[in-house]
């Protein structure tokens, strides 16, 4: 009886160990199966080996039980326990990696976030205490963050407040700052979105949020930007830096401050890297009539608008994108223990929360190991800050191109660090950071396929750095500075970077050559000077051409004939109103569209022309003498091809059309 009981107990224990073993090996088997396109032969061998090992363990357990070899059975069960632990650990690790990578792949939903904003000195801190005050919203019925969500909030909260509708967010912000309205709805990320606009740098200090609402919206199937392109073919990838005050990647509104377009050819192991200046003046695909604007503003409408915009003006297809929160860059660098960068000059910059004072980030010239805050500051900096730091940290010249170079250096330094990670705890921390601060349209299997490219690069390289493994060609978008009135948008006169067509064409050609879509021209001659160090040729940097940009001039003080001639040659209709003061007789006193607006955006303009009272009286006398037609008694200027004009003798006639701004999209 005791022997039977012992055998039964031993059998149950053995059965438990067998179940544990099968569970552990099954978890590892599943994990190995997830790693598509990675060492396919080894994965097949591993899965077959797991099955064979499980079968052998079961056979030996049953044999030892049958022959009552207790000692051998116990040893075998201990080995099975260790084997099960290894399988469970391996399966858990692989599944965690896969789950983290799956989290960064873009979903079919977009998260929008809207906040009710008021002035900082307003004592009200809750939406429940706003009383009957008017609420400012955008007139654009397609805008989730400043129209759709606000109206839902008003309905859900059963608010009886009236709404004031605006055509632009800047106009709404101006009225808030001027005290004309107490509360307005803006994207939650508004301090970053509008804080970089000239004149609104201190917006965060002047305002506060008293309520926030988020909403997940299913993406339009017609705007799906998933790519099915195999990673084994030449591809393009767009890196977009998201400037946010908090961690996380959710939310549609962001600034396109950091834009890097990379082409990669897995056959030749060559790449091109192009940093796109944030102020590049290009047609924005999601703006009405693709109105030209700073490219950073395309990001306000989400990644699809940004991608379409870049594809259109550079004539290149973007296969993949990666959007990463700058906060994630800080954590990523710190997790890797810093990155090694050769800093060309000492500089100072805001921290990741856009703060100066005791939070100012300082970086010394020379080869440095930068921590997360320093790496981000180095990537962001594009001009000295003499008002914030002493001469020691501001003695240099910089611009968007130099900032782009810094960003490329940080990306390269990050890749150098990532390829040497061999600590499992570091891997887990990296995965946590990436999964919460990054999103991409690459599928999990496409991300895993990058393993084969990295493996190929390592096998063909004699060096340890990314630059030794990969031939990287840096590109440059050349242009010139220009201040342009944002007519149809904010209405503000803003700094823009107008790109040269020749530079764009050179950059596009270089990318297409790397993608295998164009042939490179053979270089038949080469010259050098032994006394001068070799300088790498940066494609696009030296190319210049006419930009074909025409800005509306100031018509004030000019005769009406000049207005007629200019507008006629640019297809602009002219409306004329008459005023009795504001300049010399017969000259323009004011115009409805500000000077420096792009003529491409202007379809019509109203000008106020000075007609002195004495001149009007003389005209009436002459008209009564020479004509019996009463209608001829009022002076009217007729301009061919323009709408009817009517005189207006009011001295304080306002400029027509000043409030004709349309929404950004």
| Residue 324 burial (10 A CB sphere; 0-12, 13-18, 19+) | buried
pLDDT in tens, 600-644: 999 999 999 999 876 555 555 544 444 444 434 333 333 333 333
CA distance linking residue 117 with residue 412, whole number of Å: 40
Lowest-confidence pick of 12-21, 84-93, 481-490: 481-490
What's the average model confidence in pLDDT over 110-115? Answer: 87
Highest mean pLDDT (candidates 104-108, 148-152, 468-472) = 148-152
What's the average model confidence in pLDDT over 525-553? Answer: 77
DSSP structure class, residue 391: G
Helix (H) or strand (E) holding 389: none
User: Is it the case that residue 663 has pLDDT exceeding 80?
Assistant: no
Whether 406 and 369 have beta carbons less than 8 Å apart is answered as: no
Strands (E), 130-234: 135-138, 163-166, 183-187, 207-218
pLDDT above 90: percentage of residues in the chain: 52
User: Is it the case that residue 112 has pLDDT exceeding 60?
Assistant: yes
- Band of the pLDDT at 86, cuts 50, 70, 90? very high
User: Is it the case that residue 35 has pLDDT exceeding 50?
Assistant: yes
The pLDDT score that the predictor gives to residue 463 is: 61
Q: Provide φ and ψ at 118, rounded to 5°.
A: -140, 175
Any idea which fold 550-665 has?
Answer: Trypsin Inhibitor V; Chain A (3.30.10)
| Residue 373 burial (10 A CB sphere; 0-12, 13-18, 19+) | buried
pLDDT in tens, 543-559: 998 878 999 999 999 99
Torsion of CA 332, 336, 338, 344, to 10 degrees: -70
pLDDT above 70: percentage of residues in the chain: 85
- Band of the pLDDT at 408, cuts 50, 70, 90? confident
Any idea which fold 109-221 has?
Answer: D-Maltodextrin-Binding Protein; domain 2 (3.40.190)
- State the helix-helix crossing angle for 326-335 and 400-418, rounded to 10 degrees: 40
What's the first-to-final CA gap in the chain, in angstroms? 85
DSSP three-state, residue 326? helix
Closest CA to 401 of 314, 548, 328, 499: 499
The pLDDT score that the predictor gives to residue 524 is: 57
Whether 102 and 172 have beta carbons less than 8 Å apart is answered as: no
CA distance linking residue 170 with residue 471, whole number of Å: 45
The pLDDT score that the predictor gives to residue 250 is: 64
Q: Encoding tokens for residue 417?
A: 């660090």
Sorted by sequence, the CB contacts under 8 Å of residue 243 that are 6+ apart come out as 192, 254, 255, 257, 326
User: Is it the case that residue 661 has pLDDT exceeding 50?
Assistant: no
Lowest-confidence pick of 72-76, 458-462, 550-554, 571-575: 458-462
CA distance linking residue 176 with residue 170, whole number of Å: 10
The pLDDT score that the predictor gives to residue 530 is: 62
CA distance linking residue 137 with residue 154, whole number of Å: 11
Closest CA to 659 of 142, 287, 200, 165: 165
CA distance linking residue 279 with residue 491, whole number of Å: 16
CA distance linking residue 520 with residue 538, whole number of Å: 15
Lowest-confidence pick of 151-160, 523-532, 653-662: 653-662
Count of C-beta atoms within a 10 Å radius of residue 588: 23
The residue length of the chain stands at 665
- Band of the pLDDT at 665, cuts 50, 70, 90? very low
pLDDT in tens, 166-203: 988 999 999 999 999 999 999 988 888 888 788 888 89
What's the average model confidence in pLDDT over 222-245? Answer: 77
DSSP three-state, residue 598? strand
The pLDDT score that the predictor gives to residue 457 is: 76
Q: Which residues of the chain does CATH 3.40.190.10 include? A: 109-221
Rg (CA), the chain: 33
DSSP structure class, residue 146: I
- Band of the pLDDT at 221, cuts 50, 70, 90? low
DSSP secondary structure of 81-138: HHHHHHHHHHHHHHHHHHHHHHHHB--SEEEEEEEEEEETT----SGGG-TT--EEEE
pLDDT in tens, 331-385: 999 999 999 999 999 999 988 888 889 999 999 999 999 999 999 999 989 889 8
| Strand duo 183-187 + 135-138: pairing | parallel
| Strand duo 135-138 + 163-166: pairing | parallel
The pLDDT score that the predictor gives to residue 124 is: 95
The pLDDT score that the predictor gives to residue 399 is: 82
Count CA within 13 A, CB hemisphere, residue 217.
18
User: Is it the case that residue 664 has pLDDT exceeding 50?
Assistant: no
CA distance linking residue 24 with residue 20, whole number of Å: 6
What's the average model confidence in pLDDT over 3-10? Answer: 65
Whether 64 and 76 have beta carbons less than 8 Å apart is answered as: yes
Sorted by sequence, the CB contacts under 8 Å of residue 592 that are 6+ apart come out as 575, 605, 606, 607, 655, 656, 657, 658, 660
Q: Encoding tokens for residue 514?
A: 């790397």
Highest mean pLDDT (candidates 60-69, 219-228, 607-616) = 60-69
Give the dihedral sign, CA 629/632/634/640.
Answer: positive
pLDDT in tens, 281-334: 999 998 888 999 999 988 887 788 899 999 999 999 999 999 888 888 899 999
604 bridge partner residues? 573
- 433-468: string of b/e by CB count within 10 Å (b at 16+)? bbbbbbbbbbbbbbbbbeebeeeebeeeeeeeebee
User: Is it the case that residue 54 has pLDDT exceeding 90?
Assistant: yes
CA distance linking residue 555 with residue 502, whole number of Å: 32
Closest CA to 258 of 360, 406, 366: 406
Q: Provide φ and ψ at 630, rounded to 5°.
A: -65, -30
């Amino acid at each position: 009886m005791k022997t039977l009981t012992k055998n039964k107990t031993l059998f149950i224990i053995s059965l438990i160990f067998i179940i544990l073993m099968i569970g552990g090996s099954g978890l590892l088997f599943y994990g190995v199966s997830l790693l598509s396109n990675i060492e396919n032969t080894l994965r097949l061998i591993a899965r077959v080996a797991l099955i064979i090992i499980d079968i052998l363990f079961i056979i030996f357990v049953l044999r030892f039980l049958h022959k009552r070899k207790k000692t051998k059975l116990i040893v075998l069960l201990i080995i099975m326990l260790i084997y099960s632990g290894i399988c469970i650990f391996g399966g858990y690790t692989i599944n965690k990696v896969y789950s983290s990578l799956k989290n960064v792949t873009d979903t079919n939903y977009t998260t929008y976030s809207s906040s009710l904003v008021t002035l900082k000195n307003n004592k009200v801190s809750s939406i429940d205490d706003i009383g009957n005050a008017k609420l400012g919203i955008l007139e654009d019925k397609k805008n989730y963050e400043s129209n759709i969500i606000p109206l839902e909030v008003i309905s859900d909260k059963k608010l009886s407040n009236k709404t004031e509708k605006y055509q632009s967010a800047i106009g709404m912000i101006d009225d808030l700052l001027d005290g004309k309205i107490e509360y307005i709805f803006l994207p939650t990320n508004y301090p970053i979105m509008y804080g970089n606009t000239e004149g609104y740098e201190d917006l965060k200090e002047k305002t506060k949020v008293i309520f926030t609402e988020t909403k997940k919206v299913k993406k339009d199937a017609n705007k799906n930007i998933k790519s099915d392109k195999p990673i084994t073919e030449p591809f393009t990838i767009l890196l977009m830096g998201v400037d946010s005050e908090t961690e996380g990647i959710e939310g549609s509104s962001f600034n396109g401050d950091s834009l890097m377009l990379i082409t990669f050819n897995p056959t030749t192991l060559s790449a091109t890297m192009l940093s796109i200046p944030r102020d590049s003046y290009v047609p924005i695909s999601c703006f009405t009539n693709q109105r030209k604007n700073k490219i950073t503003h395309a990001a306000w409408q989400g990644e699809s608008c940004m991608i379409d915009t870049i594809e259109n003006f550079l004539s290149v297809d973007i296969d993949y994108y990666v959007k990463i929160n700058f906060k994630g860059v800080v954590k990523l660098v710190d997790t890797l223990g810093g990155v090694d960068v050769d800093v060309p000059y000492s500089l100072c910059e805001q921290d990741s929360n856009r703060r100066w004072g005791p939070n100012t980030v300082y970086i010394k010239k020379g080869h440095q190991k930068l921590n997360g805050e320093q790496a981000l500051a180095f990537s962001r900096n594009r001009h000295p800050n003499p008002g914030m730091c002493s001469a020691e940290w501001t003695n240099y010249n910089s611009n968007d191109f130099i900032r782009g170079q810094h960003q490329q250096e940080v990306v390269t330094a990050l890749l150098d660090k990532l390829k040497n990670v061999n600590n499992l705890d570091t891997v887990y921390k990296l995965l946590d950071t990436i999964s919460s601060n990054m999103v991409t349209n690459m599928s999990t299997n496409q991300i895993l396929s990058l393993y084969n490219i990295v493996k190929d690069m390592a096998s063909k390289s004699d060096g340890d750095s990314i630059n030794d493994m990969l031939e990287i060609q840096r590109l440059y978008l050349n242009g010139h500075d220009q201040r342009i009135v944002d007519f149809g948008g904010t209405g503000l006169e803003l700094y823009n970077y107008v790109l040269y067509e020749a530079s764009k064409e050179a950059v596009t050609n270089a990318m297409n050559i790397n993608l295998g879509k164009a042939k490179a021209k053979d270089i038949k001659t080469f010259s050098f000077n032994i006394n001068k160090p070799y300088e790498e040729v940066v494609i696009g940097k030296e190319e210049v051409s006419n930009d074909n940009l025409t800005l509306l001039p100031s018509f004030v003080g000019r005769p009406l004939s000049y207005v007629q001639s200019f507008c006629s040659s640019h297809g602009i209709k002219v409306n004329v109103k008459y005023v009795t003061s504001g300049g010399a007789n017969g000259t323009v006193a004011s115009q409805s569209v500000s000077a420096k607006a792009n003529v491409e955006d202007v379809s019509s303009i109203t000008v106020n022309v000075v007609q002195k009272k004495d001149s009007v009286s003389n005209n009436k006398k002459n008209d009564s003498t020479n004509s019996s037609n009463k209608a001829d008694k009022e002076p009217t200027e007729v301009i061919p091809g323009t709408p009817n004009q009517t005189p207006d003798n009011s001295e304080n006639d306002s400029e027509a059309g000043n409030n004709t701004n349309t929404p950004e999209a």
